[in-house]
Amino acid sequence: MRMLDQILKHNSEFVEEKKYEAFTTSKYPNKKMVILSCMDTRLIELLPKALNIGNGDAKLVKNAGALVVHPFGSIMRSILVAVYQLQAQEVLVIGHHDCGMSGMKADVMIESMKERGINEEVLEMLNYSGVDVNGWLEGFSSVSESVSHSVEMIKKHPLLPNDVAVHGLVIDPATGKLDLVVNGYDQ
Ligand SMILES: [Zn+2]
């Protein structure tokens, strides 16, 4: 059975057997926080458990590297929605050790794109029209620096209210241990 078929089969049983009842909650985070973290597979269950966050406790925003790349991109918009519409009062940016974005080289990914059939001309055309493809795909060298940078982007955002604390942390994807990078209460 292909993956989507497996999912749909499981899903009909899940709904039929009312397994959803264990997850009933509201859209407002009980712990009034929004977390920006990485899409890493090791963090799916480990991160909430390591922070004592259950279903309904927090808004969780994820991308590759827990990065705020653009001040008016979708990540920052999600954080503002969590703050203004969903009662989040604190923001936690949580990067992790051994992240796929750590040391990621744009030229390696661009090589893979070419191997998968993306034409050189497409890349040239993008660069020509002002899209910095290389800069956009480049990872970071230090996770704590990257977390600090994202915290700063959020904290200094012109649309974020002053009373929102923005913390920065790094989690160990094996043990769940957190290291504090920025204590938002000190800012
Ligand atoms: Zn990662």
Distance 170 CA to ligand 1 centre (A): 10
pLDDT in tens, 109-168: 999 999 999 999 999 999 999 999 999 999 999 999 999 999 999 999 999 999 999 999
Distance 65 CA to ligand 1 centre (A): 4
Concatenating the DSSP letter of every residue in 46-93 gives HHHHHTT--TTSEEEEEETTS----TTSHHHHHHHHHHHHS---EEEE
- 144 to 95, 167, 178: CA distances (angstroms): 8, 12, 12
pLDDT in tens, 115-132: 999 999 999 999 999 999
Distance 19 CA to ligand 1 centre (A): 31
Distance 142 CA to ligand 1 centre (A): 12
Cβ–Cβ < 8 Å for 97, 143: yes
Distance 12 CA to ligand 1 centre (A): 32
pTM, to two decimals: 0.93
Q: What is the mean pLDDT of residues 54-77?
A: 96
Mean pLDDT of the chain: 96
Q: What is the mean pLDDT of residues 10-22?
A: 97
**The two structure tokens encoding residue 59:** 């808004």
For residue 39, the model assigns a pLDDT of 97
* Residues having C-beta closer than 5 Å to ion ligand 1: 38, 40, 99
Tell me which residue of 11, 7, 29, 28 sits closest to 20, measured CA to CA.
11
**Which amino acid is residue 162, in one-letter code?**
N
Distance 137 CA to ligand 1 centre (A): 14
CA atoms of 149 and 21, how far apart (whole Å): 40
CA atoms of 167 and 178, how far apart (whole Å): 12
**Which amino acid is residue 141, in one-letter code?**
S
The answer, yes or no, to whether residue 88 has pLDDT greater than 90, is: yes
Distance 14 CA to ligand 1 centre (A): 30
For residue 187, the model assigns a pLDDT of 79
Enter the DSSP assignment of 141.
S
For residue 98, the model assigns a pLDDT of 96
Distance 22 CA to ligand 1 centre (A): 29
Distance 150 CA to ligand 1 centre (A): 14
For residue 140, the model assigns a pLDDT of 93
